[in-house]
Structure 1
Protein backbone atom coordinates (compact mmCIF):
# COMPACT_ATOMS: atom_id res chain seq x y z
CA UNK A 1 0.00 0.00 0.00
CA UNK A 2 2.81 2.44 0.75
CA UNK A 3 4.26 2.01 -2.72
CA UNK A 4 1.16 3.71 -4.09
CA UNK A 5 2.11 6.86 -2.17
CA UNK A 6 5.54 7.27 -3.76
CA UNK A 7 4.13 8.84 -6.93
CA UNK A 8 1.88 11.24 -5.03
CA UNK A 9 2.68 14.82 -4.16
CA UNK A 10 3.25 15.57 -0.51
CA UNK A 11 2.30 18.61 1.54
CA UNK A 12 4.26 19.19 4.74
CA UNK A 13 2.44 21.09 7.50
CA UNK A 14 2.33 21.48 11.27
CA UNK A 15 -0.40 19.88 13.39
CA UNK A 16 -2.90 22.75 13.27
CA UNK A 17 -6.33 21.23 12.67
CA UNK A 18 -7.32 23.47 9.77
CA UNK A 19 -4.55 22.35 7.43
CA UNK A 20 -5.93 18.91 6.47
CA UNK A 21 -9.28 20.37 5.38
CA UNK A 22 -7.62 22.99 3.20
CA UNK A 23 -5.16 20.50 1.72
CA UNK A 24 -7.93 18.01 0.89
CA UNK A 25 -9.89 20.80 -0.83
CA UNK A 26 -6.98 22.27 -2.80
CA UNK A 27 -4.82 19.15 -3.34
CA UNK A 28 -7.22 16.19 -3.07
CA UNK A 29 -4.61 13.54 -3.98
CA UNK A 30 -1.75 14.97 -1.92
CA UNK A 31 -0.30 13.06 0.99
CA UNK A 32 -0.20 15.08 4.22
CA UNK A 33 3.13 14.99 6.06
CA UNK A 34 3.45 16.44 9.57
CA UNK A 35 6.67 18.40 9.55
CA UNK A 36 9.51 16.89 11.55
CA UNK A 37 10.50 20.26 13.03
CA UNK A 38 7.06 20.77 14.56
CA UNK A 39 7.03 17.27 16.04
CA UNK A 40 10.43 17.81 17.67
CA UNK A 41 9.37 21.29 18.83
CA UNK A 42 6.39 19.77 20.63
CA UNK A 43 8.56 17.09 22.29
CA UNK A 44 11.16 19.69 23.31
CA UNK A 45 8.40 21.80 24.85
CA UNK A 46 7.23 18.78 26.90
CA UNK A 47 10.81 18.03 27.97
CA UNK A 48 11.29 21.64 29.05
CA UNK A 49 8.06 21.49 31.05
CA UNK A 50 9.36 18.41 32.88
CA UNK A 51 12.64 20.23 33.56
CA UNK A 52 10.77 23.13 35.14
CA UNK A 53 8.47 20.87 37.17
CA UNK A 54 11.58 19.17 38.57
CA UNK A 55 12.96 22.66 39.35
CA UNK A 56 16.08 22.46 37.20
CA UNK A 57 15.91 26.12 36.34
CA UNK A 58 18.37 28.17 34.34
CA UNK A 59 19.14 28.81 30.71
CA UNK A 60 22.19 26.53 30.78
CA UNK A 61 20.10 23.53 31.87
CA UNK A 62 17.49 24.33 29.25
CA UNK A 63 20.09 24.54 26.49
CA UNK A 64 21.82 21.33 27.56
CA UNK A 65 18.56 19.39 27.42
CA UNK A 66 17.10 20.84 24.24
CA UNK A 67 20.20 20.86 22.07
CA UNK A 68 20.82 17.74 19.99
CA UNK A 69 23.29 15.52 21.82
CA UNK A 70 25.53 15.21 18.78
CA UNK A 71 25.92 19.00 18.70
CA UNK A 72 27.16 19.28 22.29
CA UNK A 73 30.82 19.89 23.07
CA UNK A 74 32.60 17.42 25.35
CA UNK A 75 32.35 19.94 28.23
CA UNK A 76 28.62 20.37 27.60
CA UNK A 77 28.18 16.58 27.53
CA UNK A 78 29.84 16.35 30.96
CA UNK A 79 27.55 19.10 32.29
CA UNK A 80 24.53 17.34 30.80
CA UNK A 81 25.53 14.07 32.45
CA UNK A 82 25.85 15.83 35.83
CA UNK A 83 22.37 17.27 35.33
CA UNK A 84 20.85 13.95 34.29
CA UNK A 85 22.49 12.13 37.23
CA UNK A 86 20.30 14.22 39.53
CA UNK A 87 16.99 12.92 38.17
CA UNK A 88 16.04 9.55 36.67
CA UNK A 89 12.79 11.09 35.40
CA UNK A 90 14.62 13.85 33.55
CA UNK A 91 17.07 11.28 32.18
CA UNK A 92 14.27 9.16 30.72
CA UNK A 93 12.54 12.22 29.22
CA UNK A 94 15.82 13.38 27.65
CA UNK A 95 16.55 9.90 26.27
CA UNK A 96 13.05 9.76 24.77
CA UNK A 97 13.66 13.08 23.02
CA UNK A 98 16.97 11.85 21.64
CA UNK A 99 15.45 8.51 20.63
CA UNK A 100 12.78 10.28 18.57
CA UNK A 101 15.44 12.40 16.89
CA UNK A 102 17.36 9.20 16.17
CA UNK A 103 14.26 7.63 14.60
CA UNK A 104 14.04 10.57 12.23
CA UNK A 105 17.77 10.51 11.48
CA UNK A 106 18.39 6.78 11.04
CA UNK A 107 15.17 5.21 9.75
CA UNK A 108 16.24 4.35 6.22
CA UNK A 109 12.97 2.85 5.04
CA UNK A 110 9.30 3.63 5.45
CA UNK A 111 8.81 0.22 7.08
CA UNK A 112 11.51 0.95 9.65
CA UNK A 113 10.05 4.37 10.53
CA UNK A 114 6.54 2.94 10.77
CA UNK A 115 7.81 0.21 13.10
CA UNK A 116 9.93 2.42 15.36
CA UNK A 117 7.64 5.45 15.84
CA UNK A 118 4.67 3.57 17.41
CA UNK A 119 7.08 1.76 19.77
CA UNK A 120 8.47 5.15 20.80
CA UNK A 121 4.93 6.41 21.46
CA UNK A 122 4.27 3.57 23.92
CA UNK A 123 7.25 4.67 26.03
CA UNK A 124 6.54 8.38 25.60
CA UNK A 125 3.00 8.22 26.98
CA UNK A 126 4.15 7.83 30.59
CA UNK A 127 6.25 11.02 30.67
CA UNK A 128 5.03 13.19 27.81
CA UNK A 129 1.30 12.55 28.39
CA UNK A 130 -0.75 14.95 26.27
CA UNK A 131 2.14 15.54 23.87
CA UNK A 132 2.36 11.81 23.17
CA UNK A 133 -1.43 11.67 22.73
CA UNK A 134 -1.25 14.50 20.20
CA UNK A 135 1.53 12.76 18.29
CA UNK A 136 -0.40 9.49 18.36
CA UNK A 137 -3.45 11.27 16.91
CA UNK A 138 -1.27 12.44 14.01
CA UNK A 139 0.93 9.34 13.79
CA UNK A 140 -0.12 8.37 10.26
CA UNK A 141 0.78 11.81 8.88
CA UNK A 142 3.96 11.90 10.98
CA UNK A 143 5.03 8.54 9.55
CA UNK A 144 4.41 9.81 6.01
CA UNK A 145 7.71 11.67 6.53
CA UNK A 146 9.56 8.38 6.05
CA UNK A 147 8.29 8.00 2.47
CA UNK A 148 10.25 10.87 0.91
CA UNK A 149 11.53 12.75 4.01
CA UNK A 150 9.54 15.85 3.05
CA UNK A 151 9.75 18.89 5.34
CA UNK A 152 8.42 22.43 5.20
CA UNK A 153 11.81 23.98 6.02
CA UNK A 154 12.09 25.95 2.78
CA UNK A 155 8.61 27.40 3.20
CA UNK A 156 9.28 28.25 6.85
CA UNK A 157 12.40 30.11 5.72
CA UNK A 158 10.45 32.05 3.08
CA UNK A 159 7.77 32.94 5.65
CA UNK A 160 10.40 34.23 8.07
CA UNK A 161 12.01 36.30 5.32
CA UNK A 162 8.61 37.77 4.39
CA UNK A 163 7.95 38.69 8.04
CA UNK A 164 11.34 40.41 8.23
CA UNK A 165 10.71 42.35 5.00
CA UNK A 166 7.28 43.43 6.27
CA UNK A 167 8.81 44.66 9.57
CA UNK A 168 11.50 46.57 7.67
CA UNK A 169 8.91 47.98 5.28
CA UNK A 170 6.74 49.51 7.97
CA UNK A 171 5.05 52.57 6.58
CA UNK A 172 4.29 51.37 3.05
CA UNK A 173 0.95 52.94 2.33
CA UNK A 174 -0.23 50.55 -0.40
CA UNK A 175 -0.30 46.81 -0.83
CA UNK A 176 1.26 47.23 -4.29
CA UNK A 177 4.34 48.87 -2.76
CA UNK A 178 4.73 46.02 -0.30
CA UNK A 179 4.18 43.46 -3.07
CA UNK A 180 6.93 45.02 -5.20
CA UNK A 181 9.31 45.03 -2.22
CA UNK A 182 8.57 41.34 -1.51
CA UNK A 183 9.10 40.34 -5.12
CA UNK A 184 12.34 42.34 -5.34
CA UNK A 185 13.74 40.79 -2.16
CA UNK A 186 12.59 37.21 -2.66
CA UNK A 187 13.36 36.78 -6.36
CA UNK A 188 16.67 38.54 -6.92
Structure 2
Protein backbone atom coordinates (compact mmCIF):
# COMPACT_ATOMS: atom_id res chain seq x y z
CA UNK A 1 0.00 0.00 0.00
CA UNK A 2 2.86 2.36 0.86
CA UNK A 3 4.56 1.80 -2.51
CA UNK A 4 1.24 2.35 -4.33
CA UNK A 5 0.93 5.82 -2.81
CA UNK A 6 4.64 6.56 -3.22
CA UNK A 7 5.52 6.78 0.48
CA UNK A 8 7.94 4.81 2.62
CA UNK A 9 6.52 1.78 4.42
CA UNK A 10 8.01 2.83 7.77
CA UNK A 11 6.44 6.29 7.47
CA UNK A 12 3.02 4.79 6.69
CA UNK A 13 3.30 2.41 9.66
CA UNK A 14 4.28 5.34 11.92
CA UNK A 15 1.35 7.46 10.69
CA UNK A 16 -1.08 4.57 11.12
CA UNK A 17 0.15 3.69 14.63
CA UNK A 18 0.24 7.22 16.03
CA UNK A 19 -2.44 9.09 14.09
CA UNK A 20 -4.73 7.07 11.80
CA UNK A 21 -5.54 4.22 14.20
CA UNK A 22 -7.06 4.38 17.67
CA UNK A 23 -3.98 2.79 19.24
CA UNK A 24 -3.11 5.81 21.41
CA UNK A 25 -6.61 5.92 22.92
CA UNK A 26 -7.05 2.13 23.12
CA UNK A 27 -8.73 1.42 26.46
CA UNK A 28 -6.63 -1.72 27.09
CA UNK A 29 -3.26 -0.23 26.10
CA UNK A 30 -2.02 0.28 29.67
CA UNK A 31 -2.19 -3.43 30.54
CA UNK A 32 -2.07 -5.01 27.06
CA UNK A 33 1.31 -6.68 27.68
CA UNK A 34 -0.04 -8.42 30.78
CA UNK A 35 -3.67 -9.17 29.92
CA UNK A 36 -6.62 -8.46 27.64
CA UNK A 37 -10.25 -9.40 28.27
CA UNK A 38 -13.36 -9.11 26.10
CA UNK A 39 -16.35 -10.24 28.24
CA UNK A 40 -18.78 -9.55 25.41
CA UNK A 41 -17.22 -12.39 23.39
CA UNK A 42 -17.94 -15.12 25.93
CA UNK A 43 -20.07 -18.02 24.65
CA UNK A 44 -21.41 -21.41 25.68
CA UNK A 45 -18.45 -23.35 24.24
CA UNK A 46 -14.87 -22.19 24.78
CA UNK A 47 -11.32 -23.40 24.16
CA UNK A 48 -8.23 -22.65 26.23
CA UNK A 49 -4.65 -23.10 25.07
CA UNK A 50 -1.23 -21.47 25.16
CA UNK A 51 0.52 -19.68 22.31
CA UNK A 52 3.84 -17.95 21.73
CA UNK A 53 3.88 -14.34 20.52
CA UNK A 54 7.63 -13.75 20.21
CA UNK A 55 10.94 -14.98 21.65
CA UNK A 56 9.21 -17.95 23.24
CA UNK A 57 7.04 -15.76 25.51
CA UNK A 58 3.84 -17.70 26.21
CA UNK A 59 0.31 -16.35 26.51
CA UNK A 60 -2.77 -18.21 27.70
CA UNK A 61 -5.58 -17.66 25.18
CA UNK A 62 -9.29 -18.21 25.82
CA UNK A 63 -11.39 -18.34 22.65
CA UNK A 64 -15.06 -18.67 21.70
CA UNK A 65 -15.74 -21.59 19.33
CA UNK A 66 -18.91 -19.98 17.94
CA UNK A 67 -16.88 -17.15 16.35
CA UNK A 68 -15.14 -19.66 14.03
CA UNK A 69 -11.80 -17.84 14.16
CA UNK A 70 -13.28 -14.48 13.12
CA UNK A 71 -14.27 -11.30 14.98
CA UNK A 72 -15.46 -12.17 18.47
CA UNK A 73 -13.04 -15.08 18.86
CA UNK A 74 -10.78 -13.76 21.64
CA UNK A 75 -12.32 -13.80 25.12
CA UNK A 76 -9.07 -13.32 27.05
CA UNK A 77 -5.28 -13.25 26.54
CA UNK A 78 -3.03 -13.40 29.59
CA UNK A 79 0.77 -13.26 29.67
CA UNK A 80 2.21 -16.51 31.02
CA UNK A 81 0.64 -19.84 31.91
CA UNK A 82 0.65 -19.63 35.71
CA UNK A 83 -2.80 -20.72 36.87
CA UNK A 84 -3.15 -18.15 39.68
CA UNK A 85 -2.33 -15.24 37.36
CA UNK A 86 -4.70 -16.37 34.60
CA UNK A 87 -7.53 -17.10 37.05
CA UNK A 88 -7.23 -13.62 38.61
CA UNK A 89 -7.64 -11.99 35.17
CA UNK A 90 -10.48 -14.18 33.87
CA UNK A 91 -12.36 -13.63 37.13
CA UNK A 92 -12.63 -9.97 36.10
CA UNK A 93 -15.42 -11.24 33.84
CA UNK A 94 -18.63 -11.32 35.95
CA UNK A 95 -19.51 -14.75 37.36
CA UNK A 96 -22.98 -14.54 35.80
CA UNK A 97 -21.39 -14.45 32.33
CA UNK A 98 -18.87 -17.19 33.15
CA UNK A 99 -21.67 -19.45 34.36
CA UNK A 100 -23.14 -19.36 30.82
CA UNK A 101 -20.25 -21.54 29.61
CA UNK A 102 -21.40 -25.16 29.17
CA UNK A 103 -18.21 -26.72 27.80
CA UNK A 104 -14.52 -25.93 27.63
CA UNK A 105 -11.93 -27.91 25.64
CA UNK A 106 -8.31 -28.07 26.79
CA UNK A 107 -5.18 -30.20 26.81
CA UNK A 108 -4.04 -32.39 29.71
CA UNK A 109 -1.91 -29.71 31.39
CA UNK A 110 -2.76 -29.39 35.07
CA UNK A 111 -2.75 -25.58 35.01
CA UNK A 112 -5.34 -25.49 32.22
CA UNK A 113 -7.61 -27.85 34.14
CA UNK A 114 -7.32 -25.70 37.26
CA UNK A 115 -8.10 -22.51 35.31
CA UNK A 116 -11.17 -24.12 33.74
CA UNK A 117 -12.40 -25.48 37.09
CA UNK A 118 -12.01 -22.21 39.00
CA UNK A 119 -13.23 -19.81 36.30
CA UNK A 120 -16.02 -21.87 34.74
CA UNK A 121 -17.45 -24.03 37.57
CA UNK A 122 -20.54 -25.06 35.59
CA UNK A 123 -18.69 -26.03 32.41
CA UNK A 124 -17.86 -29.61 31.41
CA UNK A 125 -14.14 -30.06 30.69
CA UNK A 126 -13.25 -31.96 27.51
CA UNK A 127 -9.69 -33.18 27.02
CA UNK A 128 -8.62 -32.76 23.40
CA UNK A 129 -8.43 -36.16 21.66
CA UNK A 130 -5.56 -35.04 19.43
CA UNK A 131 -3.34 -34.44 22.47
CA UNK A 132 -4.05 -38.00 23.62
CA UNK A 133 -3.29 -39.41 20.16
CA UNK A 134 -0.12 -37.30 19.96
CA UNK A 135 1.25 -39.01 23.08
CA UNK A 136 0.81 -42.42 21.44
CA UNK A 137 2.44 -41.24 18.21
CA UNK A 138 5.41 -39.82 20.12
CA UNK A 139 5.82 -43.16 21.94
CA UNK A 140 5.83 -44.96 18.58
CA UNK A 141 8.42 -42.57 17.15
CA UNK A 142 10.53 -43.02 20.27
CA UNK A 143 10.80 -46.76 19.53
CA UNK A 144 11.74 -46.05 15.89
CA UNK A 145 14.40 -43.52 16.94
CA UNK A 146 15.89 -45.98 19.43
CA UNK A 147 16.37 -48.52 16.61
CA UNK A 148 17.78 -45.81 14.33
CA UNK A 149 20.50 -44.87 16.83
CA UNK A 150 21.34 -48.55 17.19
CA UNK A 151 21.60 -48.91 13.39
CA UNK A 152 23.90 -45.87 13.22
CA UNK A 153 26.14 -47.38 15.92
CA UNK A 154 26.28 -50.69 14.06
CA UNK A 155 27.17 -48.95 10.80
CA UNK A 156 29.94 -46.96 12.52
CA UNK A 157 31.37 -50.15 14.04
CA UNK A 158 31.26 -51.93 10.67
CA UNK A 159 33.03 -49.00 8.97
CA UNK A 160 35.72 -48.94 11.68
CA UNK A 161 36.26 -52.71 11.34
CA UNK A 162 36.53 -52.40 7.54
CA UNK A 163 39.03 -49.58 7.94
CA UNK A 164 41.17 -51.56 10.41
CA UNK A 165 41.15 -54.64 8.16
CA UNK A 166 41.81 -52.44 5.10
CA UNK A 167 38.72 -53.62 3.27
CA UNK A 168 36.02 -51.60 1.56
CA UNK A 169 32.86 -51.08 3.58
CA UNK A 170 29.70 -52.11 1.71
CA UNK A 171 26.43 -51.25 3.48
CA UNK A 172 23.60 -53.74 3.18
CA UNK A 173 21.03 -52.54 0.64
CA UNK A 174 17.43 -53.60 1.16
CA UNK A 175 15.05 -54.58 -1.66
CA UNK A 176 13.62 -51.05 -1.92
CA UNK A 177 17.08 -49.47 -2.25
CA UNK A 178 17.33 -48.20 1.36
CA UNK A 179 20.05 -49.01 3.81
CA UNK A 180 18.89 -50.00 7.29
CA UNK A 181 19.68 -46.52 8.59
CA UNK A 182 17.76 -44.90 5.73
CA UNK A 183 14.78 -47.21 6.22
CA UNK A 184 14.43 -46.14 9.84
CA UNK A 185 14.85 -42.46 8.99
CA UNK A 186 12.43 -42.48 6.04
CA UNK A 187 9.77 -44.41 7.94
CA UNK A 188 8.99 -41.43 10.13
CA UNK A 189 6.31 -39.91 7.95
CA UNK A 190 4.12 -42.89 7.10
CA UNK A 191 3.98 -43.95 10.78
CA UNK A 192 1.89 -40.85 11.42
CA UNK A 193 -0.73 -41.98 8.88
CA UNK A 194 -3.32 -44.72 8.61
CA UNK A 195 -2.19 -47.53 6.28
CA UNK A 196 -5.10 -46.74 3.94
CA UNK A 197 -3.34 -43.45 3.11
CA UNK A 198 0.07 -44.94 2.35
CA UNK A 199 1.56 -44.62 -1.14
CA UNK A 200 2.93 -47.71 -2.89
CA UNK A 201 6.49 -46.83 -1.87
CA UNK A 202 5.39 -46.36 1.72
CA UNK A 203 3.63 -49.75 1.73
CA UNK A 204 6.83 -51.41 0.52
CA UNK A 205 8.89 -49.58 3.12
CA UNK A 206 6.37 -50.50 5.87
CA UNK A 207 6.54 -54.20 4.97
CA UNK A 208 10.34 -54.13 5.30
CA UNK A 209 10.25 -52.12 8.53
CA UNK A 210 7.63 -54.30 10.24
CA UNK A 211 9.37 -57.54 9.23
CA UNK A 212 12.71 -56.32 10.59
CA UNK A 213 11.26 -54.64 13.69
CA UNK A 214 8.11 -56.41 15.00
CA UNK A 215 8.02 -54.12 18.05
CA UNK A 216 7.52 -51.07 15.78
CA UNK A 217 4.67 -52.94 14.09
CA UNK A 218 3.07 -53.71 17.45
CA UNK A 219 3.46 -50.08 18.60
CA UNK A 220 1.98 -48.83 15.30
CA UNK A 221 -1.06 -51.06 15.79
CA UNK A 222 -1.55 -49.76 19.34
CA UNK A 223 -1.42 -46.18 18.03
CA UNK A 224 -3.96 -46.92 15.29
CA UNK A 225 -6.24 -48.78 17.72
CA UNK A 226 -6.37 -45.69 19.93
CA UNK A 227 -7.11 -43.46 16.94
CA UNK A 228 -9.90 -45.81 15.80
CA UNK A 229 -11.58 -45.59 19.20
CA UNK A 230 -11.91 -41.81 18.82
CA UNK A 231 -12.81 -41.88 15.13
CA UNK A 232 -15.29 -44.79 15.07
CA UNK A 233 -17.02 -44.63 18.45
CA UNK A 234 -20.05 -42.45 19.14
CA UNK A 235 -21.30 -43.87 22.43
CA UNK A 236 -19.58 -42.93 25.71
CA UNK A 237 -20.15 -46.33 27.35
CA UNK A 238 -18.82 -48.23 24.34
CA UNK A 239 -15.80 -45.88 24.26
CA UNK A 240 -15.11 -46.66 27.92
CA UNK A 241 -15.20 -50.40 27.16
CA UNK A 242 -12.92 -50.05 24.13
CA UNK A 243 -10.43 -47.94 26.07
CA UNK A 244 -10.35 -50.62 28.79
CA UNK A 245 -9.52 -53.25 26.15
CA UNK A 246 -6.82 -50.95 24.74
CA UNK A 247 -5.31 -50.62 28.24
CA UNK A 248 -5.17 -54.42 28.43
CA UNK A 249 -3.31 -54.62 25.09
CA UNK A 250 -0.84 -52.01 26.34
CA UNK A 251 -0.18 -53.98 29.52
CA UNK A 252 0.53 -57.09 27.45
CA UNK A 253 2.83 -55.22 25.03
CA UNK A 254 5.49 -54.48 27.64
CA UNK A 255 6.19 -50.98 26.22
CA UNK A 256 7.12 -48.65 29.08
CA UNK A 257 6.18 -45.47 27.18
CA UNK A 258 2.74 -46.84 26.24
CA UNK A 259 2.16 -47.86 29.86
CA UNK A 260 2.85 -44.23 30.80
CA UNK A 261 0.23 -43.11 28.27
CA UNK A 262 -2.21 -45.67 29.64
CA UNK A 263 -1.76 -44.29 33.16
CA UNK A 264 -2.17 -40.71 31.86
CA UNK A 265 -5.45 -41.63 30.15
CA UNK A 266 -6.64 -43.33 33.35
CA UNK A 267 -5.89 -40.18 35.34
CA UNK A 268 -7.87 -38.03 32.86
CA UNK A 269 -10.45 -40.60 31.78
CA UNK A 270 -13.55 -38.58 32.73
CA UNK A 271 -12.53 -35.51 30.69
CA UNK A 272 -11.37 -37.74 27.82
CA UNK A 273 -14.70 -39.59 27.77
CA UNK A 274 -16.55 -36.24 27.69
CA UNK A 275 -15.32 -35.97 24.09
CA UNK A 276 -17.87 -38.60 23.06
CA UNK A 277 -20.81 -36.40 24.17
CA UNK A 278 -20.40 -33.75 21.45
CA UNK A 279 -17.12 -34.86 19.81
CA UNK A 280 -15.59 -31.51 20.75
CA UNK A 281 -11.89 -30.92 20.24
CA UNK A 282 -9.40 -28.11 20.77
CA UNK A 283 -8.90 -27.79 17.01
CA UNK A 284 -10.35 -24.25 17.01
CA UNK A 285 -7.68 -23.14 19.51
CA UNK A 286 -4.91 -24.77 17.44
CA UNK A 287 -6.31 -23.09 14.32
CA UNK A 288 -6.31 -19.73 16.07
CA UNK A 289 -2.69 -20.28 17.16
CA UNK A 290 -1.85 -20.82 13.48
CA UNK A 291 -3.59 -17.53 12.62
CA UNK A 292 -1.46 -15.71 15.21
CA UNK A 293 1.72 -17.22 13.76
CA UNK A 294 0.67 -16.24 10.22
CA UNK A 295 -0.17 -12.72 11.40
CA UNK A 296 3.24 -12.51 13.12
CA UNK A 297 5.14 -13.71 10.04
CA UNK A 298 3.22 -11.30 7.80
CA UNK A 299 4.60 -8.40 9.83
CA UNK A 300 8.04 -10.04 10.10
CA UNK A 301 7.98 -10.53 13.85
CA UNK A 302 6.74 -8.57 16.84
CA UNK A 303 8.63 -5.35 17.49
CA UNK A 304 5.99 -3.60 19.58
CA UNK A 305 3.93 -6.11 21.59
CA UNK A 306 1.16 -3.64 22.50
CA UNK A 307 0.69 -2.53 18.89
CA UNK A 308 0.77 -6.13 17.67
CA UNK A 309 -1.94 -7.07 20.17
CA UNK A 310 -3.95 -3.98 19.20
CA UNK A 311 -3.99 -5.06 15.54
CA UNK A 312 -4.67 -8.68 16.49
CA UNK A 313 -7.64 -7.84 18.69
CA UNK A 314 -9.05 -5.42 16.10
CA UNK A 315 -9.44 -8.40 13.79
CA UNK A 316 -10.25 -11.24 16.19
CA UNK A 317 -11.84 -9.56 19.24
Whether the TM-score (by the shorter chain) exceeds 0.5 is yes
Deviation at 1:33, TM superposition (A): 1.2
Q: Which has the higher helix share?
A: 1
1:55-94 paired onto structure 2 within 5 Å: 55=148, 58-94=184-220
Match of 2:273 among 135, 139, 143: 143
Alignment RMSD: 2.2
- The DSSP-based 3-state class of the residue aligned with 2:234 is coil
User: Does the alignment pair 1:30 with 2:123?
Assistant: yes
Deviation at 1:71, TM superposition (A): 2.0
Which structure's relative contact order is higher, taking Cα pairs within 8 Å and 6+ residues apart? 1
1:1-188 paired onto structure 2 within 5 Å: 9-55=102-148, 58-125=184-251, 126-127=254-255, 128-169=258-299, 170=301, 172-173=303-304, 175=306, 177-186=307-316
Q: Which has the higher strand share?
A: 2
Unaligned runs of 5+ in 2: 1-100, 152-180
Unaligned runs of 5+ in 1: 1-7
1-side partners of 2:235 and 2:185: how far apart? 37
TM-score normalized with structure 1 length: 0.84
Once the two structures are superposed, what CA deviation does each residue of 1:43-86 show, in whole Å capped at 9, x if it has no partner? 11100111122337544111122223232123322321221111
Equivalent residue pairs, number: 179
Higher alpha-carbon Rg: 2
